[in-house]
Amino acid sequence: MASEFTGVEDVHKRLEAAGYLPDRSIETVVFLAERLGKPILVEGPAGVGKTELAKAVAEARDAVLIRLQCYEGLDEAKALYEWNYKKQLLRITHARGGDPGPGGEGGGEDWEEVEDDLFGEDYLLERPLLQALRHSGESVLLIDEVDKVDFEFEALLLEILSDFQVTIPELGTVKGTHHPFVVLTSNNTRELSEALKRRCLYLYLDYPTVEREKEIVLSRVPEAPEQLVDQLVRIVRSLRQLELKKSPSISETLDWARTLLELGFDTIDEDVARSTMNVLLKYQQDVEKASGHLKLPPRPEMN
């Protein structure tokens, strides 16, 4: 499979083949990101397909997916690289003659030589960012939930995203060998810096329309009757209008569709909705609020 996209229509076909249904804005941004060599910053509420987009691009480009999951307190050691301290300690112990070598004798080596050796490739542990920089083939670097890290960590990303290189004090400047396709995702829990945003193409993903979500469900759960899918996506849409602690995501819509099929339901009434609402919603207060909101007709009696 050719890795590069030939055009916007090619993006559509290949993402669709990877199980992701893009709209025109997604197709255009993905194509331009590849052609311009710029990262994509994908913002939007949780569960709208931001992470899945990166996975689909990796599959569509026949590329390795390298994922950095961000969290509060993430530092260089977990994101970029760290040294294998245990292996270094063993090296030092052997060099000082405190541990027998393979021949039964300690090393007794010159310390300057040992020190140079300690910070070589054999002792370097690559983390996702450095792994993406040094990967020789096609790769997609997913920096997931970047809004969870602090501004200091953002500064680290700027050098990587701008110059495709990073400085390691012990090794010097490490330049990328093959430019990865980079996707950053954000749930908007905090405002990202202007410097980071300038380096990216911007894409906002919101909850889909009823028609689009229906299309997604039918593609992922093709055995579901169209009438049932139409009913459930409209219910989900109405629930998202409520002030819930966590609105149902697309993946939870899919889980609900599969649940209804497993239980043998081909239509949704108030009893069915109430008994399966815990699949769709994750907080009791949301379940109670949704239950009070639902006014569904009873299922027709079977003759």
Per-residue pLDDT of 201-225, as tens digits, reads 999 999 999 999 999 999 999 999 9
Task: Of 77-81, 135-139, 242-246, 298-302, give the lowest mean pLDDT range.
Answer: 298-302
| 82 pLDDT tier (thresholds 50, 70, 90) | confident
Q: Can you state the angle between helices 226-240 and 210-220, rounded to 10 degrees?
A: 130
| 124 pLDDT tier (thresholds 50, 70, 90) | confident
pLDDT in tens, 255-298: 999 999 999 999 999 889 989 999 999 999 999 888 888 765 55
User: Residue 124's CB: how many other CB atoms inside 10 A?
Assistant: 15
Q: Is the pLDDT of residue 110 over 80?
A: no
pLDDT in tens, 16-66: 999 999 999 999 999 999 999 999 999 999 889 999 999 999 999 999 999
String of DSSP letters for 233-292? HHHHHHHHTS--SS---HHHHHHHHHHHHHTT-SS--HHHHHHHHHHH--SHHHHHHHHH
User: Average pLDDT of 167-180?
Assistant: 80
| 105 pLDDT tier (thresholds 50, 70, 90) | very low
User: Average pLDDT of 239-252?
Assistant: 93
Which residues, at least 6 apart from 93, have a Cβ–Cβ distance to it below 8 Å?
Answer: 99
Greater pLDDT, 10 or 175: 10
CB-based contact 154:145 (threshold 8 Å): no
12 vs 8: CA distance, rounded Å: 6
**Nearest in space to 202 (alpha carbons), one of 214, 185, 225, 223:** 185
Supply the pTM of this predicted model: 0.83
